[in-house]
Amino acid sequence: MTKQILVTNDDGVLAPGLLALTQEMRKIGNVTILAPDRNWSGGGHVKTLDRALRLREFRLEDGTQAFGSDGAPSDCVALATLGYFKEKFDLVVSGINVGANLGHDVTYSGTVTAAMEAVIAGVPGVAVSLEVPEGHIGQIDFSASAYAASIAVQNVLEHGLPADTLLNVNIPFLKHNEIRGFRITRQGLRVYHSRLDERVDPRGRPYYWIGGEAPTGVVETGTDVGALSEGYISVTPLQLDLTAYRAISDINTWNWQEQTPL
Amino acid sequence: MTKQILVTNDDGVLAPGLLALTQEMRKIGNVTILAPDRNWSGGGHVKTLDRALRLREFRLEDGTQAFGSDGAPSDCVALATLGYFKEKFDLVVSGINVGANLGHDVTYSGTVTAAMEAVIAGVPGVAVSLEVPEGHIGQIDFSASAYAASIAVQNVLEHGLPADTLLNVNIPFLKHNEIRGFRITRQGLRVYHSRLDERVDPRGRPYYWIGGEAPTGVVETGTDVGALSEGYISVTPLQLDLTAYRAISDINTWNWQEQTPL
């Protein structure tokens, strides 16, 4: 039975990373594309309930039919899995994102939250992101990322994923033949270098950018950040249960009765 | 030393739940308010980097000074912790949200993701949400929620929270004297009943609502959903490490070498 694969992303339906992913996925199954009609990076896990969504048809550079919506990546997955298409999907793959999604990035990331939405809808989800050095100019080579996506997706189609679990795949910025292989990792720690950048508009009123250098990470073996720094593709299983189980017994010892203010 | 508390929410700076929370927090410490200038429900964990943010001053109903921004709840926390105010915050509390944030709601929720942003900034975060029955009409009584927030916040100020951990507090829709107490819980399972609702605009073009009934939950003892259904306030510690640790060894046995397509 031909596998039905939904492709989405957060860089927008016409982004070259989506085209590269589509061409690779077409070797594995039947591909349907529904992605945002604009860039949604850093947009988080959105469920758009306060407005209606529009969809329209696009053509990718190679002529492939695709659909774009004015919703977030997670909205695109919701539209697709709620029945906008007649297909029942076996898997949702999101990417190839320009920029790694490591550590704390995962709850911000449109790429990863699209895969979360798939999992909530009961469909296995895979997010694929390519580390791209800050300030990189020029065309991006997605071939190693397409390869990584292919291996990950074939594995998920063959083995399935545990309930409420998705795969977060990150590829180092290396040529295909320089990559050392795959590492199954845990989520590492991002270090953000955000700064508040106050400016004044032509009418004398202040406005604020969240500025600063690109985030770095704590390089530690066993983590997503560590794998990339050592030249490996990182595959992190992520779960939607965020419970901090180890904190429960301690918090149970706190005073949860009526108190007078401190 | 007076505690510095940042209050935010996702229903907008003028929402009555924020006023109720502010009045309670003022008994504990010095309160600063920065919240979205409009409703951001379901907006996810946003980091706005592609546009500048504006801030302006508001007055709450009781005359309290507050600030509103055109960013998401998490942007408000970023602006506040990156130095928009001179205060260094000891705690960020978000709410009181109209509507519970249970199970899978947590990554969508502006209320919870504001607390996540606090934790990423190194400040303890507490999210407070009140279950409100669908279709409820009339003024909402926030007194039990304000009480729950007070107990939770005082506990966090006294004991601290483990690294990368926040508290997600949910209050059942009961009178203060009907509430049976607190339960420290794990994240339960939401059941969404979304449907795709296709309509046609006056110009004959289709548009789509994500419709359907309000989500329900799997009632299970020990979970957030279970606690509320039994008349308890639910306190769930949530962590930002989403790694599905139990899946790692199994995924390690998959074939991560070059493969021919399925």
CATH number at residue B149: 3.40.1210.10
> What are B166's two structure tokens?
């926040």
> How does pLDDT run across A185-201, given as a tens digit for each residue?
999 999 999 999 999 99
Query: What are A202's two structure tokens?
Result: 């032509």
Alpha-carbon distance of A50 to B210, in angstroms, equals: 9
Nearest by CB to A236, which of B162, B186, B243? Answer: B243
pLDDT tops 80 at residue B262: no
B160 in A contact zone (CB under 8 Å): no
Predicted complex: ipTM over 0.90: yes
Kindly determine whether residue A44 and residue B72, on different chains, have CB atoms separated by under 8 Å. yes
Please tell me if residue B23 touches chain A, with a CB cutoff of 8 Å: no
Per-residue confidence at A258, pLDDT binned at 50, 70, 90?
A: low
Cβ–Cβ of A158/B251 closer than 8 Å?
no
**Residue A210 domain-assigned (yes or no):** no
In a domain, A66, yes or no: yes
Is A89 part of any domain? yes
- Give the gap in angstroms from C-alpha B168 to the nearest C-alpha of chain A: 10
Query: B169 in a domain, yes or no?
Result: yes
Residue A207 lies in a domain: no
Set of chain B residues whose Cβ sits within 8 Å of the Cβ of A241: 186-187
List the domain range (segments joined by +) for residue A57. Answer: 4-189+218-252
Please report whether residue A164 resides in a domain. Answer: yes
B10 lies in some domain: yes
pLDDT the model gives residue B258: 61
B115-131: pLDDT as tens digits = 999 999 999 999 999 99
User: Does the distance separating the beta carbons of B107 and A116 come in below 8 Å?
Assistant: yes
Which one of B41, B194, B245 has the shortest CB-CB distance to A78?
B194
Count of domains observed in chain B:
1
Residue A202 lies in a domain: no
pLDDT of residue A33 exceeding 70: yes
Which one of A46, A107, A176, A260 would you mutate to disrupt binding with B, by most B Cβ within 10 Å of its Cβ?
A: A107
Q: Which long-range contacts (CB under 8 A, 24 or more apart) does A60-65 make?
A: A60/A13, A60/A14, A60/A18, A60/A19, A60/A22, A60/A33, A61/A14, A61/A16, A61/A19, A62/A19, A62/A23, A64/A19, A64/A22, A64/A31, A64/A33, A65/A33
> Which pLDDT value is given to residue A262?
37
| 8 Å CB contact of A243 and B238 | yes
pLDDT value at A260 more than 70: no
Predicted TM-score (pTM) of this structure: 0.95
pLDDT digit string, tens, across residues A133-174: 988 888 999 999 999 999 999 999 999 999 999 999 999 999
CB proximity B21 to A under 8 Å: no
Please list every residue in chain A whose beta carbon sits closer than 8 Å to the beta carbon of residue B207.
52-54
